[in-house]
Chains A and B, each alone.
Chain A
Amino acid sequence: NAGVTQTPKFQVLKTGQSMTLQCAQDMNHEYMSWYRQDPGMGLRLIHYSVGAGITDQGEVPNGYNVSRSTTEDFPLRLLSAAPSQTSVYFCASSAVSNQPQHFGDGTRLSIL
């Protein structure tokens, strides 16, 4: 029972590089989301999706893009990495937006 799978677990980037954080869920959930967790702060919503082909911005969307071509996958793209994007990123899913979410184990990203 895989649940929500995030890859990679760790990544170091240089300023200006781009990369994609992968997220996949095998629970046939319609709702998926991306959060970042920074020291001393709660999880903050970056982007979310209520179903394939539908995405929207959360609280802190700047510098990130998402797409949702399938129900299972919800990748997060950093277009031009900045040191301020150093964080731990969590992907989550739920059947619908008003149910508790299942979280992946996170990706620790460092931007030098």
Chain B
Amino acid sequence: DQQVKQNSPSLSVQEGRISILNCDYTNSMFDYFLWYKKYPAEGPTFLISISSIKDKNEDGRFTVFLNKSAKHLSLHIVPSQPGDSAVYFCAASVGFDNNDMRFGAGTRLTVKP
């Protein structure tokens, strides 16, 4: 029962353009959401988070949008750079609780020079 779904296994964009990675969730109780980034042969690293009291959170080139009614969040990367090529995981929990964090399967982003 995957409560967090990333329906696009891969995404390819041109350098300088916008990358949009999507994530859907089924548990309406989730109220804290995170994005992690993973390079090959490395562990995931934390990228950005958002709580349900907000609908947008921005950190440099990275912005996460949350649509609670649609149970959907997205990560926007503008402008995309070749170094952004990685697998991106979204995760969700009820209250920020690593014990109960549910992860999506990931989206592999390729940014072409």
Residues of A within 8 A of B (CB): 4, 31, 33, 40-45, 48, 56, 58, 90, 92, 94, 97-106
Contacts and interface: CB of A to CB of B under 8 A. Distances in A.
8 closest cross-chain pairs (CB), A and B:
A103-B43, A42-B103, A100-B46, A98-B96, A43-B103, A97-B98, A103-B44, A42-B104
Contacts, number: 60
Nearest to B9: A40
Contacts of A42: 2, 4, 89, 91, 102-106
B2 A94 contact: no
A92 B103 CA distance: 14
Interface residues of B, number: 24
Nearest to A104: B43
Given A31-B98, A42-B4, A97-B99, A105 B41 contact: yes
Nearest to A33: B98
Interface in B85-112: 89, 91, 95-99, 101-106
A102 B49 CA distance: 14
A106 B97 contact: no
Nearest to A108: B41
Given A40-B105, A42-B104, A43-B89, A105 B97 contact: no
